């Protein structure tokens, strides 16, 4: 079953921002620009300069390596397929405003898919749809600075305390209640943090509530990062996030090992 048959009518390409800095999580009010759902990167085909703080002797991740480290529909199996565009719940529930600065930063990072901010080096990204569960997954590999990744991880770890529950005003679905909890990830990579974010909106007293469940994860592997968001209206398949991260961390490590062998 396609996503459109399950209420996920696709509307354009996945959004990204270019006004964030690589050193900090996205800031409130950062403008968004569209990015293709397939692999995307900066300075295609060329190695980026070594990032400050990179491990001595470790070549910088190249565009080709970042693309090779992506997961695909064959890794997750049926019913995952290549995306047809952004899910309608993306604008309907993630485009929202709250008076809590840290919580607003989280909403904007989720809406723009920029948890790490603008990339310090090459980036590759892909997106997949699960029409059976009205779900969509976005997966990216970033050549970043390890210190910047760790700052983002520290910010994410604090959110289950600072933004455990808050309300936000959406542009299309009225007021929503947002809950943020630690996702309890297994020991992927060298450092990691995951969140389970639940957004529930009720446009009117007569309407049934709409609930979006999001798994959010950032994993540092050496000086590189994997960023994953997976969302569904209702119940997100339990194994999706850990399956994607397990395959992705191993693939990134293998790509890095081949790069060292060729250097």
> Which residue did the predictor score with more confidence, 185 or 260?
185
Find the range with the poorest average confidence among 61-70, 85-94, 191-200, 215-224. 85-94
Average pLDDT over residues 123-144: 92
pLDDT of residue 88: 80
Nearest CA to 153 out of 108, 121, 123, 183 is that of: 183
pLDDT of residue 261: 62
pLDDT of residue 39: 42
Residues 220, 221, 222, 224: is their CA dihedral positive or negative? negative
Cα–Cα distance, 11 to 84 (Å, whole number): 8
pLDDT of residue 113 exceeding 80: yes
Cα–Cα distance, 220 to 35 (Å, whole number): 23
Q: Flag whether the pTM goes above 0.95.
A: no
pLDDT of residue 74: 93
pLDDT of residue 142 exceeding 80: yes
CA atoms within 13 A on the CB side of 51: 24
């Amino acid at each position: 079953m396609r996503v459109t048959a399950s209420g996920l009518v696709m509307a354009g390409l996945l959004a990204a921002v270019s006004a964030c800095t690589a050193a900090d999580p996205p800031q409130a009010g950062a403008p968004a620009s569209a990015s293709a759902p397939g692999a995307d990167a900066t300075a295609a085909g060329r190695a980026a300069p070594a990032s400050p703080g990179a491990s001595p002797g470790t070549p910088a991740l190249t565009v080709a390596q970042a693309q090779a480290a992506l997961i695909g529909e064959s890794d997750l199996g049926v019913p995952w397929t290549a995306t047809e565009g952004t899910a309608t719940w993306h604008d309907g529930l993630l485009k929202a405003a709250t008076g809590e600065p840290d919580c607003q930063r989280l909403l904007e990072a989720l809406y723009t898919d920029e948890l790490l901010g603008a990339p310090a080096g090459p980036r590759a990204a892909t997106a997949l749809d699960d029409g059976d569960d009205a779900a969509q997954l976005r997966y990216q590999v970033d050549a970043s600075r390890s210190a910047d990744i760790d700052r983002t991880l520290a910010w994410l770890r604090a959110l289950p305390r600072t933004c455990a529950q808050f309300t936000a005003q959406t542009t299309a679905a009225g007021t929503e209640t947002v809950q943020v909890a630690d996702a309890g990830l297994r020991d992927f990579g060298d450092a990691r943090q995951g969140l389970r974010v639940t957004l529930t909106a009720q446009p009117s007293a007569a309407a049934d509530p709409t609930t979006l469940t999001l798994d959010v994860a950032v994993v540092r592997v050496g000086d590189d990062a994997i960023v994953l968001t997976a969302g569904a209206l209702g119940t997100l398949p339990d194994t999706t996030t850990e399956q994607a991260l397990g395959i992705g961390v191993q693939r990134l490590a293998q790509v890095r090992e081949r790069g060292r062998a060729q250097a």
